[in-house]
Every structure is written in structure tokens, then in C-alpha cells.
């Protein structure tokens, strides 16, 4: 996979149901996209397997030989520039229309995401491009009741630079004051530290307790 493809599709996962409307054709092994490039006798073929693996090639229309100059750093000229521009444009459009953010991978984080979807019918909203953070908000007033982030331990005041996944939840100030121990419970990361609680989603806190705290946060978000 080229560096360009890695860059475009980093932290993203394909939504297979969106591929056919984009122009892909379903085959026995996955999905195939075939498009002739403008002003050159070349075509772009994109393959996406059922497991989401992507590969792309530019081929000569007649010989079916691969064309690779558009992937060569420093290659210049109007022809290669045209091919590279179209290649990138199609891949960026594919990422925009058929891919979704894929940031959170810890098992408890995935359990929390599933719980919120099943209980409140809400999906994470990624409000900032390239940011490893997303929010849940109430449908009736758009207030946030949960934030999920991927950060390093050091950013939370712990030792080490390992990536962790955290959840920020609303909490009553008096409860936060007695609860925050900077080991399992933290004042809200990047939030109001009197009204938000941060929990690391590494199973150190029982999932049932987190569900209860989400319910409280959801209710607090309804208040003016």
C-alpha cells in the first residue's frame, strides 16, 4: 500500500454498504471500482476486500501494464501531474463518501460505544477532522453528554507515552471533588474540571459503573 493511500485512509474504516452507490461492483472476492482517467489512456482500478483491505492500480487501457510514475516522488510533467491529480481526487472522494472514522479500539471503549448506540440511539460525532476525539450529544438540545478521546498517559498526568482511550462525562461538582483520585478518576480532560469526570477505558472501572455514569451525564445534559 502506498504512502498516499496510508495517509488518506489512516484511522478510517470502510462502510461496505456505501461502495456500490459510489460505483463499485460486487464480486466473489470483494468490490471493484474501474474508471477511465481523463486526457490519458489510463484507468484506475480499486479493489476492496470483504474485510476492508484496499489496493489501487493505474493501468494502461490497452496493454493492462501498470503505470506507476504518479507514485514516484519528484516526478514532474503535465502528464504525470494530471494522472496524480485524478488519482488523489478519486481516493479522497472515496474516503469522504464511503469511509468512517476508526479511532477507538480498546475493548471497553467498543463496549461503551455499543451501549450508547443501543441505549440512546446516538453515534459518535467526529467534529474535528484528523482529531482523535468525538462526542455524543442529546438530540433534544444538542448538549454533549459524553466525549471520547485517544491520548497518551502523560497527557493525563500519568507516566508513559502509551496511547489510552478515555471518556469524559458530566458529573456533579461535589461528587467529582470526593471521587477524583488521579489514578482511576480524573477531573475532565480538556473539559470543565469542576463539572466533567474522565475515566480510562482499560477495564479498571467496571462497565456497569460506567453505564450508570453515562446515564447520569445524559440527565445532567438536559439541565439548563
pLDDT tens by residue, 134-190: 999 999 999 999 999 999 999 999 999 999 999 999 999 999 999 999 999 999 998
Q: On the CB side of 158, how many CA atoms lie within 13 Å of its CA?
A: 18
Q: Which of 102, 94, 106, 126 is nearest to 12 (CA)?
A: 102
Mean of pLDDT over the chain: 94
Q: Is the pLDDT of residue 1 over 60?
A: no
* CA angle centred on 46, ends 5 and 128, rounded to 5°: 40
CB 58 within 8 A of CB 71: no
DSSP 155: G
**Which cell numbers in the block locate residue 154?**
502523560
Range 46-58 average pLDDT: 96
pLDDT of amino acid 191:
92
Q: What is the CATH number of domain 107-220?
A: 3.90.1150.30
pLDDT over 70 percentage in the chain: 99
Q: Residue 76: what pLDDT?
A: 86
Q: Report residue 22 as a C-alpha cell.
A: 459510489
Mean pLDDT of 11-21: 93
**pLDDT above 90 for 74:** no
Q: Which 8-state DSSP code applies to residue 188?
A: P
21-29 mean pLDDT: 96
Domain boundaries, the chain: 3-100, 107-220
- DSSP H/E element including 96: helix 78-98
pLDDT at 60 over 60: yes
**CA-to-CA dists, residue 155 to 54, 126, 138, 189, angstroms:** 34, 20, 28, 9
The answer to whether the CB of 106 falls within 8 A of the CB of 165 is yes
What does the pLDDT read at residue 101? 84
The single residue listed with the C-alpha cell 470543565 is: 192
Question: Per this entry, what is the length of the chain?
Answer: 224
Q: What is the mean pLDDT of residues 219-224?
A: 89
Q: Which residue has the cell 478510517?
A: 12
pLDDT for 122 equals 94
pLDDT tens figures, 99-133: 988 889 999 999 999 999 999 999 999 888 777 89
Predicted pLDDT of residue 93 = 97
Q: How many CB atoms lie within 10 A of CB 97?
A: 13
Rounded to a whole number, what is the distance in angstroms from the first to the last CA of the chain? 50
Give the pLDDT score at 124: 92
Average pLDDT over residues 5-32: 94
CA-nearest of 68, 60, 147 to 109 is: 147
Average pLDDT over residues 185-201: 95
The average pLDDT across 3-19 equals 91
Amino acid at each position: 500500500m502506498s504512502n498516499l493511500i496510508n495517509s488518506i485512509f489512516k484511522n478510517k474504516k470502510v462502510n461496505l454498504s456505501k461502495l456500490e452507490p459510489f460505483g463499485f461492483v460486487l464480486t466473489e472476492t470483494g468490490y471493484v471500482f474501474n474508471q477511465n482517467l481523463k486526457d490519458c489512456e489510463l484507468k484506475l482500478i480499486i479493489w476492496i476486500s470483504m474485510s476492508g483491505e484496499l489496493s489501487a492500480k493505474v493501468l494502461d487501457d490497452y496493454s493492462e501494464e501498470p503505470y506507476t510514475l504518479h507514485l514516484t516522488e519528484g516526478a514532474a510533467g503535465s502528464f504525470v501531474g494530471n494522472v496524480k491529480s485524478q488519482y488523489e481526487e478519486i481516493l479522497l472522494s472515496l474516503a469522504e463518501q464511503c469511509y468512517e472514522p476508526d479511532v477507538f479500539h480498546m475493548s471497553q471503549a467498543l463496549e461503551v460505544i455499543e451501549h450508547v448506540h443501543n441505549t440512546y440511539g446516538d453515534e459518535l460525532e467526529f467534529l474535528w477532522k484528523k482529531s482523535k476525539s468525538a462526542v455524543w450529544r442529546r438530540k433534544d438540545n444538542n448538549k454533549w453528554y459524553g466525549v471520547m478521546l485517544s491520548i497518551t498517559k502523560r497527557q493525563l498526568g500519568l507516566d508513559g507515552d502509551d496511547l489510552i482511550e478515555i471518556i469524559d462525562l458530566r458529573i456533579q461538582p461535589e461528587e467529582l471533588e470526593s471521587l477524583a483520585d488521579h489514578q482511576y478518576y480524573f477531573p475532565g480532560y480538556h473539559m470543565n474540571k469542576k463539572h466533567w469526570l474522565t475515566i480510562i477505558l482499560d477495564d479498571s472501572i467496571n462497565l456497569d459503573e460506567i453505564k450508570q455514569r453515562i446515564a447520569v451525564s445524559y440527565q445532567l445534559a438536559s439541565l439548563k
